[in-house]
Each structure stands twice: as structure tokens, then as C-alpha cells.
């Protein structure tokens, strides 16, 4: 009888899959009974053939399944999608890179079955845990800092609320799933802070290993993703998170805009109109790059050609806003308004238009 589903979000993990399934079988078969578990790989359309490798494994072992996601990315959303796709009474989430030891899975199942805990968490910081094999003291310090911030802002009192390795009853996940943000990398923190009832948690010391193969799912935007998740849990109900990110980057673009305008208008004497046009182009390029990397990270454009086309679309969709920006600012300056106030007024006029169309036609689908 099916008892446990292990959800494994993947991105370019082809070389890890076969050996990981063997490790899971060695840990689970004796404890849960053959056929009592399944591994669900949720792949974000890896280019190295991860999804096809999972299908190959599935043909030899019916306990292996794969969900290949097209046009969607993100560790948290992948974990949610995988957990919602099983009939197993217990669901676990772990990495597919061999950093998480599957030997902890039977102990977690036992704790849930006996009612000892509502959620089981493999902790990198619990007594008895170790990260010596990881050998990344820089990342270890970053994780410690992120955990301290998470505990302070969310009230979740765990040694490792940022852990990516945990298990819970499937019905607990289904209860909170409609209210989860699915943003960022730390789905456990999202679940614990979203649940209307306080969940009892048991932590298991984890010997955190080095990555076996493949590429990390945590890129240069990890710190930003963490802050996004915290924002979503605190203020996201009032202002849509993606719009807030777009606006935040737009605010940074204001700084770029004013700096370029000052450089062209005051330093090089180009005249306000030409200075404003140059500033608009510079800020537009700045906003496109940051929005592509951060606001629309789940729909990020990667190829050089795609970036060129994306920038062109961004420029075209923002062109009306840009014309309004320049026109309003120039009109205000010609009537004696201070150039800084005139520039800001132009930016505000164009911002809402920029967000609406770029969300649809640059990073969205027709």
C-alpha cells in the first residue's frame, strides 16, 4: 500500500537520478515495504535530459514518476505541485543532488505515524548535525543569518526553518496549499507561517553532504528570493508581490534615470529634452535587466537572442509610457518646474502602463 511520496524538484540533475533512486530504495524498502513509496521528480524543463532520464527509470521501476513543467520555474512551486499530485498519506520534499540523506525518511515516517509530530524537518543546525562534508563555510554563514532573520520575522522557532528537507501528512499540505505563495525557495517556512494552527515539529540532525553532480537550483537571486518570500507573507495580501517587485526595481530605475539625466544635462550640456531621452533609454535597459533576473525569475529569458528580442519588446511596450514620460516632463520644465520634479512626474505617468504591458507581452504569453 502506498504510504510515502518523496518530491524531488530538479533542474539539470540527470546524473543524480539513478543513484538517488537506489539510495532511496535501500533506505525505504525494508522500513515501509516494497511498493510503499514513490519518487516524484518535478523537473523545470531541464536542458540536460533530466525528465527523460526519470522516464527511463520509471519504465524499470513503477515507483518513479516525473512531472515536466514547461514555462514555469521555482523550487517552492515545484514542491507544492509535486505534493499535490500524489495519493500517498505522507509527503516529503528533498533535494535530488545527494546533499540530503534518504536514511532519515523512515524515522520521519515513524514520528508522523505515532503522532509525535505534525512536521518532521531535517536540520543542518540541530545537535548532532554536520556540514563538514559540504565544506562551504561561506554558505553556512549565509544560511545561519537567513535562519535568524526568518525566526525573528515569522516567529517560527526552529534551528533550521530554511531547510529544504522535510515531511508531513499530505492532508496538512492540502489544508494550507491554497494560501501558499509558491514564491522563492523556502517552502517549509511558507507552510509553517501560513498554517492557522500551530504545527508540532520534530527536527532530525542532518549530515549535509556535498553536491554529487548537476547544477544548484540556487542562483545569484537567492537573497532576493528570500526577501520576496518574507514580503509575500507579510504585505503580499495588500499589494501583489510581483507588482511590488516591479515597482521596487522601478524605484531603483529612478536613481539611474536621474543620474544619467544629471550627467547629460548638467555635465555635458545636451539640453533637457535630449538628456531626458537618454535617461529614459538607460533606465529602461536597467529595469529590463533586473526585472528579467528578479521579478520574472520564473520566466527568465536566458539566450542572447532572446534577451535582444525581449529588450525590444520591453522597449516597444513601454514606448507609450516613455513618450508620456518625456512629454510630461518637458512640459513641466518649460513652465518653470524644477527638472528633478519634472522627471519624477514623467516616471510616475509611465510606470503603470509599463507594468501592465510588459507583464503580458514580454514575460507573459499572448
Provide, rounded to the nearest whole percent, the portion of the chain with pLDDT above 70. Answer: 82
**E strand or H helix that includes residue 90:** strand 90-93
Name the percent of the chain lying above pLDDT 90.
37
Give CA–CA dist 219/242, Å, rounded: 19
Range of lowest pLDDT (27-36, 116-125, 243-252): 27-36
The lowest-confidence range among 197-201, 216-220, 266-270 is: 216-220
Angle between helices 241-261 and 272-290 (to 10 degrees): 140
CB 103 within 8 Å of CB 110:
no
Residue of 298, 184, 279, 166 lying closest to 236 (CA atoms): 184
| Per-residue DSSP letter, 198 | P
Position 327 in a domain: yes
pLDDT at 312 over 80: yes
Transcribe 283-326 into DSSP letters.
HHHHHHHHIIIIITGGG---SHHHHHHHHHHHHHHTHHHHHHHH
Structural domain includes residue 194: yes
Compute CA distances 37 → 90, 93, 99, whole Å: 9, 13, 20
User: What residues have CB less than 8 Å from 148, skipping those under 6 apart?
Assistant: none
Same domain, 310 and 178: no
- Are 39 and 79 found together in one domain? yes
Q: 234, 260, 285: which is the final residue of a domain?
A: 234
CA separation (Å) from 1 to 22, 31, 191, 205? 20, 13, 27, 29
In a domain, 312, yes or no: yes
Average pLDDT over residues 204-225: 62
Mean pLDDT on 126-146 = 64
Say how many domains are in the chain: 2
In a domain, 115, yes or no: yes
Q: Which domain holds residue 154?
A: 4-234
pLDDT at 181 over 50: yes
Residue 167: which pLDDT band, with cuts at 50, 70 and 90?
Answer: very high
| Average pLDDT for 253-259 | 91
C-alpha span between 343 and 328 (Å, rounded): 8
Q: How crowded is residue 113: how many other Cβ atoms within 10 Å of its Cβ? A: 12
Last-in-domain residue among 190, 217, 234: 234
Asked if 201 and 274 sit in the same domain, the reply is no
Verify that 159 and 44 share a domain, yes or no: yes
Predicted confidence at residue 152, as pLDDT, reads: 58
Tell me, what's the pLDDT at 303?
Answer: 85
Do 24 and 168 reside in the same domain of the chain? yes
Neighbours of 175 (CB within 10 A): 15
Residue 38 lies in a domain: yes
Q: What is the mean pLDDT of the chain?
A: 82
Q: CA–CA separation, 348 vs 345, rounded Å? A: 5
**By three-state DSSP, how is residue 111 classified?**
helix
Give me the CATH number covering residue 183: 3.90.550.10
Residues 298 and 270 in one domain: yes
186 and 303 co-located in one domain: no
Final residue in a domain of this structure, among 199, 234, 269? 234
Question: Is 282 in the same domain as 320?
Answer: yes
298 and 335 together in one domain: yes
Q: Which residues contact 63 (CB under 8 A, 6 or more apart)?
A: 35, 37, 38, 39
pLDDT tens string 292-304: 887 887 678 888 8
Burial call 242-281: b when 16+ CB within 10 Å, e when fewer: bebbbbbbbeebbebbbebbeebbeeeebebeebbbbbbe
CB 87 within 8 A of CB 37: no
**Contact in structure between 150 and 161 (CB atoms under 8 Å):** yes
Assess whether 248 and 222 both reside in one domain. Answer: no
- Determine contact, residues 172/83, Cβ cutoff 8 Å: no
pLDDT of residue 219: 47
Residue 211, classified by CB atoms within 10 Å of its CB into exposed (0-12), middle (13-18) or buried (19+), is middle
* Cβ atoms of 166 and 199 closer than 8 Å: no
Question: Which tens digit of pLDDT belongs to each residue from 58-94?
Answer: 999 999 999 999 877 778 889 999 999 999 999 999 9
> Who has greater pLDDT, 219 or 24?
24
Is the residue at 366 inside a domain?
A: no
The reply to whether 245 and 227 lie within a common domain is: no
Asked, for residue 158, whether it belongs to a domain, the answer is yes
26 lies in the same domain as 155: yes
Amino acid at each position: 500500500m502506498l504510504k510515502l511520496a518523496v518530491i524531488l524538484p530538479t533542474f539539470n540533475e540527470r546524473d543524480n537520478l539513478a543513484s538517488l533512486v537506489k539510495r532511496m530504495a535501500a533506505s525505504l524498502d525494508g522500513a515501509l515495504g516494497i511498493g510503499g513509496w514513490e519518487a516524484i521528480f518535478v523537473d523545470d524543463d531541464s536542458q540536460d535530459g533530466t525528465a527523460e532520464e526519470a522516464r527511463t527509470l520509471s519504465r524499470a521501476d513503477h515507483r518513479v514518476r516525473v512531472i515536466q513543467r514547461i514555462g514555469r520555474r521555482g523550487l517552492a512551486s515545484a514542491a507544492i505541485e509535486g505534493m499535490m499530485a500524489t495519493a500517498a498519506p505522507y509527503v516529503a520534499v528533498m533535494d535530488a543532488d545527494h546533499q540530503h540523506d534518504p536514511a532519515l525518511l523512515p524515522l520521519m515516517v515513524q514520528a508522523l505515524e505515532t503522532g509525535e509530530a505534525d512536521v518532521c524537518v531535517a536540520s543542518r543546525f540541530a545537535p548532532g548535525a554536520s556540514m563538514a562534508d559540504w565544506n562551504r563555510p561561506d554558505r553556512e554563514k549565509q544560511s545561519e543569518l537567513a535562519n535568524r532573520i526568518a525566526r525573528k520575522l515569522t516567529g517560527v522557532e526552529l534551528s533550521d526553518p530554511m531547510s529544504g528537507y522535510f515531511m508531513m501528512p499530505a492532508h496538512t499540505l492540502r489544508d494550507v496549499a491554497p494560501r501558499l505563495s509558491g514564491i522563492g525557495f523556502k517552502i517549509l517556512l511558507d507552510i509553517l507561517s501560513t498554517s492557522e494552527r500551530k504545527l508540532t515539529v520534530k527536527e532530525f540532525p542532518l549530515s549535509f553532504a556535498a553536491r554529487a553532480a548537476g547544477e544548484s537550483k540556487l542562483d545569484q537571486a537567492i537573497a532576493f528570493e528570500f526577501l520576496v518570500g518574507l514580503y509575500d507573507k507579510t504585505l503580499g495580501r495588500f499589494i501583489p508581490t510581483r507588482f511590488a517587485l516591479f515597482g521596487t526595481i522601478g524605484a531603483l530605475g529612478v536613481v539611474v534615470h536621474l543620474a544619467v539625466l544629471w550627467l547629460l544635462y548638467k555635465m555635458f550640456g545636451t539640453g533637457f529634452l535630449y538628456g531626458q531621452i537618454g535617461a529614459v533609454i538607460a533606465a529602461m535597459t536597467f529595469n529590463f535587466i533586473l526585472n528579467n533576473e528578479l521579478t520574472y525569475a520564473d520566466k527568465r529569458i536566458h539566450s542572447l537572442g532572446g534577451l535582444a528580442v525581449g529588450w525590444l519588446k520591453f522597449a516597444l511596450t513601454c514606448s507609450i509610457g516613455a513618450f508620456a514620460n518625456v512629454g510630461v516632463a518637458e512640459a513641466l520644465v518649460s513652465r518653470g518646474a524644477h527638472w528633478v520634479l519634472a522627471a519624477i512626474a514623467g516616471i510616475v505617468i509611465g510606470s503603470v502602463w509599463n507594468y501592465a504591458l510588459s507583464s503580458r507581452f514580454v514575460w507573459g504569453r499572448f
